[in-house]
Each structure stands twice: as C-alpha cells, then as structure tokens.
Structure 1
C-alpha cells in the first residue's frame, strides 16, 4: 500500500501514542541459568579443542549479554503513530520503510512486529492488549497486516527455547 501524496504534504499529526517497556522482559530463575551455563560450557570445551580460545570468549560474552538482558528490567519508552510514520523514543521510521506488520506474543507481552527495509529488518514494539484494535485501525491506513511464516531458524530457536527450563 502506497502512502497517499496528500499525506506527504500535510504536517505531521499524532494519531495514537502510548508508553510501554522498550522490550519484552521475563525474569529467569536459577535453574535456567545453571542449565544455560552447562550447555555453554560443553559447547565452549568443544570449540576450544577445535578452534582455540576466541570462540570461547565469544560464548562467554554472549552469555554475559543474555544474563544482563534478563536481569535488568527495560525502561519505559514513548511510542507514537503519526501520519508520517512511527516514532519510537524519538526515532522516526517513515511509512515508506515499513512493508507490513503483524502481532505476536513473547514472555507474556503482546508485540507489534513491523518488517522494515532498513537494518535490523524488524521493529518489535511492546503494546498493551487493550490497545491492539486501536493500533490495528491506525496502521491499516498506511501498511498491510500480513503475518510472516516462521523460517527454519525461527522454528529451531523456538524448539531449543522450549527445551530450556522455564520456557514451557
């Protein structure tokens, strides 16, 4: 769906806004981290024997990043849908850079997922479940709602995540 030419000449107008966490968040328990460290240790030993110390250093840094992301709660961010695009914490993405959108769930949070033409390729926004219809109404005027089927990588990560404790 192309953005109408008349919209491009109009001044920017806020259509809907809300405040929500910057990312989905779930506090993990001790059992989860012990299992994760055991898996990382086994993979690290194998990689150390095959490649040396650098892959092990990479695994350690990824585990540290994962730990920080799961222990520090996200900050609240203001989101705005305008006639020109979507603003996330003051960063604007024009409608011309967004292909489609759909809704998803992760960690008991409702998400609005938008496929973008720029990196990282997807914009995932936490929404309140009672705002879903309002957001859907505003977005449908500019972009289409079309859920992307999961790739092999998505299916593999979902399967692996389901095997870890606390993710059932």
Structure 2
C-alpha cells in the first residue's frame, strides 16, 4: 500500500506539472497573439470603413432595358444625321457603362488618418484637399473630395450607411471645408441626371 500511495502521489504531482506547463504555454501564445494584433493596429488611423469600390445597381433587368433604349435612341439620332460611324462607339460606351453599373465591385478599405484619407491604395494628404460633399448614387452615399486649385481633381469614396456618413463628416470637417449644398460640375449634373432616369427594377 505505501508503494501504491507513493506512485499515486507521483502521478498526481506529474499531472500538476503538466497542467502548469499547459497554462504557461497558452499564456505565452496569447501574449504573442496580442503582440501581433498590436503591431497590426496603426495608431495614426482615426477611422476606417469598408465599402464597394464604386456604387452599383443591384438589379439588372430594368437597367438592361434602359440602356438598350438609350443606345437605340442615340443610334437613330446619329444615323439620321449621317454619322453612321458613331453608332459603334455609342453601343461600346453604353455597354461598358452597363457592366460597371451592375457588376459587383470589390470591397475596399477606406480610412482617415491624422495626415489625410486613404482608399484603394492611394493616399491624399489634407494639405492638398479643399472641400468635400456627399451625393447619392443608387443605394449608396458617395463622398466627393475636391482638391485645391489649380487642379481641382475629384476623389470618390463610397459610404455605405448614415452612421458612417455622420462619422466621416465629423472627422473631415476638422480638416477641410464641408459643403452641404455644393456647386456641381457638368459631370456631376450628368451623373445625377442618369441616376434619376435609372429604373428601380
């Protein structure tokens, strides 16, 4: 019996050592994981969100009829004007517009940092930006950021919901001017007109 008790005590002691080893092993793995996560976190990122690369139409049947009607109308106009060579470019451009509209774009990560705004692997510093505003395209808000003169280039970021829009507005307003009712360019007005004519189904 004494020998059996000793063996039992040794087994119990070995089990304790094994449990302690497992505990410290798991603790070490957890510490390493937290270290990796902390390295992946950029302290200069103020806010980030994920959204499609561009706004797109989720339904396609009515949109297809819309584009076919537009293409036929423009083709008839240029045909009667005698510019038959323009028929092919019209159909090519409208086909590309249709594909870019209904094809689901990739999801990209946009983020605002202490230095500027980043999206689609491009960085724009606040020093080069003048103002921003929002437009509505299909089911999305589109953040439009305008650069400073003389270039006045435009950058577009899709904003998926009202909460993200509110947060982006609060942060960007501290760095560049926010225009609630912007002066739209000819391109903006053309896009708005096409969007208003776009069928819902």
TM-score bracket, normalised by the shorter chain, equals 0.7 to 0.9
**Structure with the largest fraction of strand:** 1
Give the aligned partner of residue 162 of structure 2. 129
Query: After superposition, what is the alpha-carbon deviation per residue over 1:100-128, rounded to whole angstroms, capped at 9, x for unaligned?
Result: 01223221212222112487832221123
2:149 is the alignment partner of 1:81: no
Deviates most, 73-82 or 63-72: 63-72
5+ unaligned residues in a row in structure 1: which ranges?
A: 1-11
Instruction: Please state which structure has a larger fraction of its residues in helix.
Output: 2
Count of residues paired in the alignment: 156
Contact 1:28-1:70 at 8 Å conserved across structures: no
3-state SS of paired residue (1:111): strand
- In 1, Cα distance between equivalents of 2:193 and 2:170: 33
Question: C-alpha separation between the residues in 2 aligned to 1:111 and 1:164?
Answer: 17
Counterpart in the other structure of 2:101: 70
Give the secondary-structure state (helix, strand or coil) at the position aligned to 2:81: helix
Cα shift readout 1:7-36 (whole Å, capped 9, x = no counterpart)? xxxxx9221111111111212342332232
The alignment's TM-score, normalised by the length of structure 2, stands at 0.65
Q: Identify unmatched segments of 5+ residues in structure 2.
A: 1-42
**What is the RMSD of the two structures over their aligned residues, measured on CA atoms?**
2.7
Q: TM-score, normalised by structure 1?
A: 0.76
Question: Of the two, which has the highest radius of gyration?
Answer: 2
